[in-house]
Amino acid sequence: MKSENQPTRTPGSGAEAGENPVQVKLQEIIEGKGPGPKEQDLVRPGSTSGVRASAETARFLKISELYATLQGEGIHAGLPCFFIRLAVCDIRCAWCDTPDSWTGGQWRTRQELLSSVPHHISLVQITGGEPMLQIRRLRTLFEDLHSAGKKILLETGGHRSLEKVPPYVHIVMDIKLPSSGEQSHPFENNFGYLKASDEIKFVVASEEDFLRARRWIQEHDLATRFQILISPAYGMDLKKLAQWVLDSKLTVRMQLQLHKYIWGPDATMV
């Protein structure tokens, strides 16, 4: 779900050979009706469990990556965070930096996921890919993490309904701008499912993008309703964007992606 100004990706360029990147078992993922994980796909639970795993092992999610690092974005930036990156996305942002998550992934059992979360990290980010594709089973994971006292962040592209997200989950929702190539989705349909503490993120790669973000914010009064992030696409002129933000007189937060500055723009799993 991270979205930066990386070289333009052709839809499907990160797909597994021979797969249709858009329709790859999509219904199976959404419905949770696919076959269970194969034995060889399962990764044994680690010994660093910070969560009491449920005896329920039949439920599972399709996962791209699991890793611990510092949260790089938003109002939780700088805090240690465990990332659960779900596999599969049904849109194709031009500057997506996680195309490997568009397809593929490995089935992980619920117990494996819970066992992966370290004791000492209280912040867990669910990202993708597009996590809302797996919301049916994701809700169970939300319940488990919440019961274990973890704070849950959900990062979503904003193009799928957030109606089924529990209120204790902190949502970070994108609104896609023209340079993404995915600006035509009805993002406004989700405003009613967001809390005042939730974040809306605009990734800005051009002046046209910023002007469109400004229009979204003004027309829907977003800056007084939610936390608004203006996130420069990596490599953009930061001083120019800062000046646009100041000139707009909007109460929004310009953010830099911390992990890109610590580990470099091409580092993965950070």
Q: Which is nearer to ligand SF4, 12 or 45 (CB)?
A: 12
CA angle 61, 227, 113 (to 5 degrees): 15
Q: Does 126 bind ligand SF4 (CB under 6 A)?
A: no
Residues 45 to 74 in contact with ligand SF4, rule: CB under 6 A: none
Contacts of 70 (CB under 8 A, 6+ apart): 77, 78, 79, 80, 81, 258, 259, 262
Contacts of 186 (CB under 8 A, 6+ apart): 159
In the stretch 181-210, what mask flags binding to ligand SF4 with x, by CB under 6 A? ------------------------------
| Count of positions on this chain that bind ligand SF4 (CB under 6 A) | 13
Say how far apart CA 175 and CA 203 lie, in whole Å: 8
Write down the least CB distance from residue 198 to ligand SF4, Å: 17
Q: Which is nearer to ligand SF4, 51 or 63 (CB)?
A: 63
Contact region for ligand SF4 (CB under 6 A) — 31-39, 54-62, 124-132, 204-212? 124-132
Contact region for ligand SF4 (CB under 6 A) — 17-25, 91-99, 131-139, 146-154? 91-99
Write down the least CB distance from residue 80 to ligand SF4, Å: 23
Write down the least CB distance from residue 114 to ligand SF4, Å: 24
In the stretch 94-123, what mask flags binding to ligand SF4 with x, by CB under 6 A? --x-x--x----------------------
Write down the least CB distance from residue 55 to ligand SF4, Å: 33
Q: Which is nearer to ligand SF4, 96 or 113 (CB)?
A: 96
Work out which of 84, 157, 170, 245 binds ligand SF4, going by CB under 6 A: 157
Work out which of 76, 92, 170, 212 binds ligand SF4, going by CB under 6 A: 92
Q: Which is nearer to ligand SF4, 65 or 144 (CB)?
A: 65
Write down the least CB distance from residue 155 to ligand SF4, Å: 8
Q: Could you list the residues that contact ligand SF4 (CB under 6 A)?
A: 1, 3, 89, 91-93, 96, 98, 101, 128-130, 157
